[in-house]
């Protein structure tokens, strides 16, 4: 069972419990805890140090390629891009290969940040862009001041999925969403500047659910990022992940 399957299974069990009785205590998933991901990325870092193995691509190459295609079609090469829950920084490393020059990744696991740095450094060539990395907790009560007001494009490929699986989901959403909005570049006049985008991929939430979670006076749904391959199960078409683009208003 891969990580997307684990996430889907965990959220299904939580939602089944909620549907039985709203009075019952929520069953948290280990996938929503920092301890789980610290252990996971400590193992990934050990594997990289010993074997040069960078680990899995979160949600697989298909979802990552969908995200990359949307960015390359719609975002300027010099745009400041922030990857939330960067893991092994696969998205950022591929964006660097495509010519993007202002790239930052954050994760709340120090081992993930160290893995990202090492994987990115291993691919550096003379004159190549240096990717920045930092440890940051997206659901802390305050946003890291060093990251505020800096970015034009913010990416999430499965990070909200994991965050939503433990604790008070509403409180986590409030802090996570505040972090996203705080990260956006501060502008006095948007008339002649490129749009600010929040691009999120999820294997737990539908497009309608993502809109319900994130759309507001400050963030508007722009479009979906459709899959190039559609799966059919029980005669019904579907995809393994939902890609949605929101624009800061």
Q: For residue range 15-35, what is the model confidence (pLDDT) as tens digits?
A: 444 444 333 344 478 888 889
User: What CA–CA distance (Å, rounded) separates 124 from 95?
Assistant: 13
List pLDDT tens digits, range 148-157: 999 999 999 9
Q: Which residues pair with 233 in a beta bridge?
A: 236
Tokens, residue 65: 């390629």
Task: Give the pLDDT confidence score for residue 189 in this predicted structure.
Answer: 67
Provide the domain limits for residue 88.
3-248
CA 218 to chain centre: 19
- Domain total of the chain: 1
Q: Are 3 and 56 in contact (CB under 8 A)?
A: yes
Banded model confidence at residue 248, pLDDT cuts 50, 70, 90 = very high
User: Taken in order 135, 197, 193, 95, is the CA torsion positive or negative?
Assistant: positive
Query: What are the backbone angles phi and psi of residue 233, rounded to the nearest 5°?
Result: -135, 125
Q: What percent of the chain has pLDDT over 90?
A: 69
- 247: how many CB neighbours lie within 10 A of its CB? 13
Phi-psi region of 222 (alpha: psi -120 to 50; beta: other; left: phi over 0): alpha
Q: Which of 54-63, 135-144, 214-223 has the lowest mean pLDDT?
A: 54-63
Which of the residue ranges 13-17, 134-138, 163-167 has the most confident prediction, judged by mean pLDDT?
Answer: 134-138
Task: Give the pLDDT confidence score for residue 113 in this predicted structure.
Answer: 97
Mean pLDDT of the chain: 86
List pLDDT tens digits, range 65-116: 999 999 999 999 999 999 999 999 999 999 999 999 999 999 999 999 999 9
Which residues, 6 or more positions from 123, have their beta carbon under 8 angstroms from its beta carbon? 93, 96
CA 3 to chain centre: 14
Q: What is the CATH number of the domain that holds 31?
A: 3.40.50.150
Helices (H), the chain: 3-20, 34-51, 60-74, 90-97, 110-122, 159-163, 169-183, 207-214
Task: Give the pLDDT confidence score for residue 25 in this predicted structure.
Answer: 40
List pLDDT tens digits, range 174-188: 999 999 999 999 887
What does the angle CA 212 – CA 215 – CA 216 come to, to the nearest 5 degrees?
A: 120
Question: What 3-state DSSP class applies to 117?
Answer: helix
């Amino acid at each position: 069972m891969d990580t997307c399957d684990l996430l889907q299974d965990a959220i299904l069990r939580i939602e089944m419990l909620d549907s039985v009785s709203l009075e019952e205590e929520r069953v948290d998933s280990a996938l929503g805890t920092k301890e789980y991901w610290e252990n996971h990325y400590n193992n990934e870092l050990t594997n990289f140090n010993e074997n040069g193995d960078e680990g899995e691509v979160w949600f697989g190459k298909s979802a990552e390629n969908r995200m990359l295609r949307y960015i390359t079609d719609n975002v300027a090469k010099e745009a400041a891009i922030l990857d939330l829950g960067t893991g092994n920084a696969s998205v950022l490393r591929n964006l660097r290969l495509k010519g993007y020059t202002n790239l930052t990744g954050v994760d709340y696991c120090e081992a993930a940040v160290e893995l990202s740095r090492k994987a990115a450094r291993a691919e550096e060539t003379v004159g190549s862009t240096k990717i920045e990395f930092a440890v940051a907790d997206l659901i802390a009560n305050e946003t890291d001041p060093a990251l505020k007001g800096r970015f034009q494009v913010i990416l999430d490929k499965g990070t909200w999925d994991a965050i939503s699986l433990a604790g008070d989901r509403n409180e986590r959403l409030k802090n996570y969403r505040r972090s996203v909005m705080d990260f956006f570049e501060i502008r006095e006049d948007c008339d002649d500047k490129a749009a600010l985008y929040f691009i999120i991929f999820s294997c737990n939430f539908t497009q309608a659910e993502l809109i319900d979670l994130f759309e507001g006076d400050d963030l508007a749904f722009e479009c979906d990022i459709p899959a190039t391959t559609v799966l059919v199960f029980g005669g019904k078409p579907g995809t393994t992940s939902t890609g949605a683009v929101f624009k800061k208003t």
